[in-house]
Structure 1
Amino acid sequence: MDRGFDELLQEAQARPLIGWDLSCDGRITTTATPWNFEQTVEAHARRSPDMLDMGTGGGEWLSRLAFRPPRTVATEGWAPNVAVARERLAPLGVEVVEVEGADDNALQPDGAEQARLPFGDASFHLVVNRHESFVAAEVHRILATGGRFVTQQVASDFNADCYALLGLPVPELPRWKLDTAVAQLERAGFGVDDSAEGAELIAFADIGAFAWYLKHVPYVCPEFDIDGCRGALERLHRRMQGGEALAMRQKLFWASGVRQA
């Protein structure tokens, strides 16, 4: 294979991920979802005295939000991201609290109570969650009556396109889709009043960006290894050299609900 292919894979192996910026200097682009999650959150934030952002990553998304209530707090469960988030969000007046991450929602038993959030009952009027696991009962506990929870989640079959590109069999995973999320929320005492399902398209400018993405986002394809998948990567690289785009859909859904009494 040509030198360019080897260099791209070497870079993918060596390049670190800092925070949760998955753009790879613009070499990875993502199309918009059919809904505008950011605008939805901003609209609710303008009507709320406070907000909690669950799983803020490196604070990238929260820092870009056009409006944040005077009291805005963020949580993060991955230790390397906590310092990154604090450095980014402290100048904006946002406290970042390190927490224990919740188990994947699809794996939680009914009435799960693990991953207790370090906040008192009825501490917030708006809780926002973007691609983070959550325990519905805990979110319900920290919300005031009439408070709102807004979440965007990655569906359990989000990675089917990735497996197809690599020529790997798609694993069977516990079901996590809009209806299962709504059921968890309703059991916890939420009235879900808005939701939708859809997908975004993630496009890669070169094979190195694709390999780097899969290396640093291991839940997309746990079986992926740059050396072990070299043959598949080489095949995709040749297809790109022939003018074929490299992209995959990521299936998502979102839901919004109010804590009932």
Structure 2
Amino acid sequence: MTSSTPTRTFDELVAEAAAVPVDGWDFSWLDGRATEARPPWGYARAMGERVARASAVLDLQTGGGEIFARALEPLALEPLALEPLALEPLALEPLALEPLALEPPTLEPRALVPPATAPTRPVTAVATEGWPPNTVRAAALLRPLGATVVAAADVPSLPFADGAFDLVVSRHPVTAWWTEIARVLRPGGTYFSQEVGPASVFELVEFFLGPRTPEERAVRDPERAAHAARAAGLDVVDLRTAALRTEFHDIGAVVYFLRKVVWMVPGFTVERYRDRLAELHRRIEAEGPFVATTTRFLIEAVKTGRRPV
């Protein structure tokens, strides 16, 4: 039986994906067109738990602010002030057949108090972002939640005082500047991050660029990150890795992904890679989804009193 849904052409799929805005870090446009398994540690939830305990938090390279907003939204509402219930004493008349002297019951009002362990909004919440379209998007999303967005390029010089934060977070930073992260953390403060791992989605990268060198495949190695963190004076308390199945179901998903994640195929444009895109389109049509492996690692490090190496 043939499908009643007409097959979209290569040109239609590519034109649609090339016209979609790619600001922010929301990948919902790929729903139904690409899939990626999620790491088992649940970064957004775990980050939210840490933000709820922090007094001053910095989100580095926030993108469009979507993940940071998810952490701040539950904390944005002030505790509800509940007045004690005003309960009037119940007036009971004595029964007519056998009079009884009944005292009205005394009902004590109960004050409903939020539990002492309820999460609170950080006194200071700051996010940095270097790409202007994302900076605008993040500001619109985060400012109503009490966060300040600072336009800051991805360079090893953060515009903050020493020891300004007790929590620094970052999801998929382009670069982790460990010395600066350690500098802006207070003693006992924590850095918590999910990062892109080595050779992530390299099946797709190598389809367009050819084989990568061993050195290129080793970039973003989690053990190297842990070594750099320790050299900056941080103690690594958690380091986990995950290899995740990723599928691209049509060529439009590939175009959108490479336009959004610009470091995968630097200088990517539809015009420049049209022939390779057409070849990949034919392959997907004949064989099914293009499969790649996404790699991620989770790192948590605490600033101690020891001097950097």
Scaled by the length of structure 2, the TM-score of the pair is 0.73
* Structure 1 residues 201 and 122: CA distance shift in structure 2, 3 A: same
Which amino acid in structure 2 is aligned with residue 85 of structure 1? A
Unpaired stretches in structure 1, ≥5 consecutive residues: 103-114
What is the aligned partner in structure 1 of residue 248 from structure 2? 204
Which of 200, 215, 220 is equivalent to 2:264? 220
Aligned length: 248
Partner Cα separation in structure 1 for residue 257 and residue 172 of structure 2: 16
Partner Cα separation in structure 2 for residue 147 and residue 57 of structure 1: 23
RMSD (Å), alpha carbons: 2.2
1:223 CA drift (Å): 6.1
Partner Cα separation in structure 2 for residue 253 and residue 90 of structure 1: 29
Question: Greater shift after overlay, 4-13 or 59-68?
Answer: 59-68
* Structure 1 residues 61 and 51: CA distance shift in structure 2, 3 A: same
8 Å CA contact retained: 1:151, 1:254: yes
1:50 CA drift (Å): 2.3
Identity rate, percent:
34
Which of 8, 11, 19 is equivalent to 1:14? 19
What is the aligned partner in structure 1 of residue 281 from structure 2? 237
Scaled by the length of structure 1, the TM-score of the pair is 0.85
Partner Cα separation in structure 2 for residue 248 and residue 47 of structure 1: 37
Question: Greater shift after overlay, 6-15 or 142-151?
Answer: 6-15
Q: Secondary structure at the match of 2:28?
A: coil
What is the aligned partner in structure 2 of residue 249 from structure 1? 293
Which of 115, 128, 138 is equivalent to 2:169? 128
Deviations 1:190-230 (A, max 9, x none): 01111111123333332112112112322112264423433
Which of 29, 54, 66 is equivalent to 1:48? 54
Q: Is 2:134 the counterpart of 1:92?
A: no
Which amino acid in structure 2 is aligned with residue 198 of structure 1? A
* Structure 1 residues 188 and 234: CA distance shift in structure 2, 3 A: same
Partner Cα separation in structure 2 for residue 88 and residue 38 of structure 1: 17
8 Å CA contact retained: 1:59, 1:89: yes
Unpaired stretches in structure 2, ≥5 consecutive residues: 1-6, 76-120
* Structure 1 residues 61 and 29: CA distance shift in structure 2, 3 A: farther
8 Å CA contact retained: 1:11, 1:208: yes
8 Å CA contact retained: 2:188, 2:302: yes
What is the aligned partner in structure 1 of residue 225 from structure 2? 181
Partner Cα separation in structure 2 for residue 247 and residue 94 of structure 1: 38
* Structure 1 residues 148 and 95: CA distance shift in structure 2, 3 A: same
Q: Is 2:205 the counterpart of 1:163?
A: yes
Partner Cα separation in structure 2 for residue 155 and residue 186 of structure 1: 18
1:25 CA drift (Å): 5.1
Q: Is 2:163 the counterpart of 1:118?
A: no
8 Å CA contact retained: 1:190, 1:257: yes
Which amino acid in structure 1 is aligned with residue 12 of structure 2? E
8 Å CA contact retained: 1:23, 1:29: no
- Matches of residues 40-79 of structure 1 in structure 2 within 5 Å? 40-65=46-71, 67=74, 69-70=121-122, 71-79=124-132
